[in-house]
């Protein structure tokens, strides 16, 4: 199977997004960056049931960071050939009772190749390993307070990869090497992420022209910073928010030591002056490179969305990644990185401005179609 443009690797979750009041918030010490990637399923289901019984408005989606990124890219450029490496569990009676997005086949319709997309139908005696992962997001003033995930079937991914390799005689690295672009987001089990990333590194050796992007997330950049370092060193593009940038810069309090720490972190293993850190801000994107021990920064500005203009910022960063990757793969835009950045901004805004009753992917498609028509 040759000719794939993008392969994304990551979790597939059933996301429940509740609009909450201040009374329903979860107190965290992470300053808005909190994401708990591995919780007992009972904790997540109890939270969902409690808020549903309270009558809180909510929506559901089949999500997962890399899953959203890939779906956005496919809606922007439908001719892209895309595939996903992940495990899609089976909705449980709980999901059929509380969920609102239960047509899994329709949610996966954008995938052109499913050779390494695994399901749990007729597999596993353990109900936890069969179930689709669940996440609960509490939204307050249209921004998330925290996210809790019960990984369920996602934690079976590495075993399924090994089974596929033994059955087909093809390694994951060989499969990945056929793509133009690989994008990864965090998994709840870091050991599995670490092992899968080794296949990505091998794929990059097999196909040096292939680009790799990564959205490591808050937990990896804070709790897994040292183990992440030899993995993130092979990413060409790294998507970070302000909190994640500070985490990787050892939370230095002023700019000069922060950037010096970032430079040291990214230069210690496989230094590459073309590697780009893309740091997302409300009104700009900060592009950071490291060359000869020096940090080089470029700023690409855009119009800020104010609180009254957005409905839900969940998945905005993932949508940005999908727009950016699409722009980098499109010959009309990739002469200057600023243009794919602007396409990513449009994708993020399309998602944030979509109301619960709207399909955010179709709204993103409309915005980006207009962008291309204006070129």
**Sequence spans of domains, the chain:** 6-373
pLDDT of residue 4: 97
Q: What are the pLDDT digits (tens) for 19-31? A: 999 888 887 554 4
Q: What are the pLDDT digits (tens) for 109-129? A: 999 999 999 998 767 678 899
Measured CA to CA, the distance from residue 333 to residue 236 in angstroms comes to 18
List all residues 6 or more positions away from 144 whose beta carbon is below 8 Å from its beta carbon. 137, 138, 313, 314
Q: Which of 225, 231, 207, 203 is nearest to 116 (CA)?
A: 203
Is residue 344 within 8 Å of 323, Cβ to Cβ?
yes
Mean pLDDT confidence for 3-17:
96
DSSP assignment letter at 117: E
Measured CA to CA, the distance from residue 335 to residue 318 in angstroms comes to 23
Is residue 51 within 8 Å of 145, Cβ to Cβ?
no
Largest CA distance in the chain: 58
Q: What are the pLDDT digits (tens) for 330-352? A: 999 988 999 999 999 999 999 99
User: Phi then psi for 5, rounded to 5 degrees?
Assistant: -90, -50
* pLDDT bucket at 32, cuts 50 / 70 / 90: very low
pLDDT of residue 2: 56
Q: What is the value of pTM for the model shown? A: 0.95
Look-up: residue for tokens 């709790």? Answer: 223
> What is the residue-averaged pLDDT of the chain?
93
| Residue 304 burial by Cβ neighbours in a 10 Å radius (0-12, 13-18, 19+) | exposed
Mean pLDDT confidence for 84-94:
95
Q: What are the pLDDT digits (tens) for 283-299? A: 999 999 999 999 999 99
Mean pLDDT confidence for 310-315:
88
Catalytic residues: 318
Is residue 102 within 8 Å of 70, Cβ to Cβ?
no
Pairing of strands 143-150, 237-241: unpaired
CATH code that applies to domain 6-373: 3.40.1190.20
pLDDT of residue 124: 67
Mean pLDDT confidence for 240-262:
96
Mean pLDDT confidence for 78-83:
98
Is residue 85 within 8 Å of 184, Cβ to Cβ?
no
Q: What are the pLDDT digits (tens) for 208-233? A: 999 999 999 999 999 999 999 999 99
Mean pLDDT confidence for 139-154:
89
pLDDT of residue 334: 83
List all residues 6 or more positions away from 330 whose beta carbon is below 8 Å from its beta carbon. 77, 340
Mean pLDDT confidence for 243-249:
96
């Amino acid at each position: 199977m040759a000719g794939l443009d993008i392969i994304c690797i990551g979790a597939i979750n059933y996301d429940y997004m509740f609009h909450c009041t201040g009374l329903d918030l979860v107190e965290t010490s992470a300053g808005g960056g909190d994401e708990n990637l591995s919780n007992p399923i009972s904790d997540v289901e109890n939270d969902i049931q409690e808020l549903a019984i309270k009558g809180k408005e909510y929506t559901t989606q089949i999500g997962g960071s890399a899953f959203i990124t890939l779906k956005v890219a496919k809606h922007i450029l439908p001719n892209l050939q895309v595939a996903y490496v992940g495990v899609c569990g089976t909705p449980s009676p709980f999901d059929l009772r509380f969920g609102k997005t239960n047509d899994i086949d329709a949610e996966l319709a954008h995938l052109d190749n499913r050779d390494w997309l695994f399901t749990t139908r007729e597999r596993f005696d353990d109900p936890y390993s069969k179930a689709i992962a669940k996440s609960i997001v509490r939204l307050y003033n249209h921004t998330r307070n925290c996210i809790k995930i019960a990984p369920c079937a996602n934690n079976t991914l590495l075993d399924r990869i090994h089974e596929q390799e033994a059955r087909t005689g093809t390694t994951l690295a060989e499969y990945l090497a056929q793509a133009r672009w690989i994008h990864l987001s965090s998994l709840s089990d870091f050991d599995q992420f670490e092992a899968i990333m080794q296949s990505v590194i091998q794929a990059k050796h097999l196909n040096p022209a292939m680009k790799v992007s990564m959205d490591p997330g808050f937990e990896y950049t804070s709790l897994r910073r040292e183990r992440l370092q030899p993995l993130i060193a092979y990413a060409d593009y790294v998507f970070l928010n302000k909190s994640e940038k500070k985490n990787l810069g050892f939370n230095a309090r002023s700019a000069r030591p922060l950037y010096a720490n970032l430079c040291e972190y990214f230069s210690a293993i496989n230094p590459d002056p073309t590697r780009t850190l893309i740091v997302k801000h409300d009104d700009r994107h900060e592009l950071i490179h490291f060359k000869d021990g020096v940090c080089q920064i470029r700023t690409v500005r855009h119009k800020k969305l104010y609180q009254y203009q957005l409905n839900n910022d969940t998945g905005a960063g993932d949508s940005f990644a999908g727009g950016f990757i699409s722009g980098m793969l499109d010959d009309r835009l990739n002469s200057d990185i600023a243009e794919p950045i602007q396409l990513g901004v449009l994708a993020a805004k399309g998602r944030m401005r979509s109301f619960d009753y709207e399909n955010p992917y179709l709204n993103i498609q409309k915005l980006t179609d207009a962008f291309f028509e204006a070129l």
